[in-house]
Amino acid sequence: MRQVKIGEWPAMGWINAVTRWQELKDLRASGVDPALDKKKLRRQAEEEAAIKVTTVADVVEAYAKGHLANNREPKGAVAVAQRLRRATAPFASMPAAEVSRKMVFELMSSLAGTAVLAKSVKAELGAAWNIAMDAGLLPDETPNWWRQVSGPKMKSKGAMRDGVRKGTAKRVLSVPEVGTLLREDIGLMSEAVRDVVLLYLWTCSRGVELVQMHASQVTKEEDGVWWTLPKRLTKNRHIESATDHRVPLVGRALEVVNRRMEKFQGGYLFPRTTKQGVKTHLLQVNVGSPIHFRMPYSKSRPDITRERFQVTHWSPHDLRRTGRTLLASLGCPNEIAEAIIGHVQPGIVGTYNLYHYDKEKRHWLGLLSARLEEIASAV
Cis peptide before 271 (omega within 30 of 0): no
Question: Which SS3 state, helix, strand or coil, does residue 112 take?
Answer: coil
Predicted local confidence at residue 352, as pLDDT: 46
Do 222 and 208 have their domain in common? Answer: yes
- Could you write out the DSSP letters of every residue in 252-280? HHHHHHHHHHHHHTSSBSSEEE-TT--EE
Instruction: Assess contact for 145 and 102: CB atoms under 8 A.
Output: no
- Stretch among 29-33, 125-129, 266-270 having the lowest mean pLDDT: 29-33
Q: Is residue 154 part of a domain?
A: no
What's residue 53's pLDDT? 58
Q: What is the mean pLDDT of residues 14-28?
A: 78
Do 226 and 246 meet the contact criterion of CB atoms below 8 Å apart?
yes
- pLDDT tens digit sequence for 335-366: 999 999 998 876 655 554 557 889 999 999 99
* 303 within a domain of the structure (yes/no): yes
Residue 143 lies in a domain: yes
What confidence tier does 162 reach under pLDDT thresholds 50, 70, 90? low
pLDDT of residue 161: 57
As a whole number, mean pLDDT of residues 168-190 equals: 91
Same domain, 242 and 313: yes
Report yes or no on 170 lying in a domain.
no
Name the pTM for this structure.
0.66
Q: Are residues 247 and 343 in the same domain?
A: yes
91 and 64 share one domain = yes
Domain residue limits at 23 = 14-53
Q: What is the pLDDT of residues 53-100, one digit of tens each?
A: 589 999 999 999 988 888 777 888 899 999 999 999 999 999 998 899
User: What pLDDT does residue 169 have?
Assistant: 61
Q: Are residues 35 and 64 part of one domain?
A: no
Domain contains 107: yes
Q: What pLDDT does 244 receive?
A: 87
Percentage of the residues of the chain whose pLDDT score is greater than 70: 88
In this structure, the answer to whether residues 39 and 107 fall within a common structural domain is: no
CATH of the domain at 199: 1.10.443
Decide which of 101, 132, 148 is a domain's last residue: 148
Work out how many domains the chain is built from and give that number: 3
> For residue 97, what is the domain's CATH number?
1.10.150
* Strand blocks (E) in the chain: 160-161, 164-165, 218-221, 224-229, 245-248, 271-273, 279-281
Residue 295 lies in a domain: yes
Q: Does residue 167 belong to any structural domain of this protein?
A: no
Q: How confident is the model at residue 247 (pLDDT cuts 50, 70, 90)?
A: very high
Measure CA 275 to chain center: 23
373 and 262, same domain (yes or no): yes
141 and 251 co-located in one domain: no
Greater confidence, 178 or 50? 178
What's the chain's average pLDDT? 85
Residue 153 lies in a domain: no
Q: Which of 106, 133, 148 finishes a domain?
A: 148
Query: Is the domain of 270 the same as that of 211?
Result: yes
Q: Are residues 289 and 198 in the same domain?
A: yes
Same structural domain for residues 108 and 184? no
User: Is the per-residue pLDDT at 50 higher than 50?
Assistant: yes
- Looking at the structure, do residues 70 and 203 belong to the same domain, yes or no? no
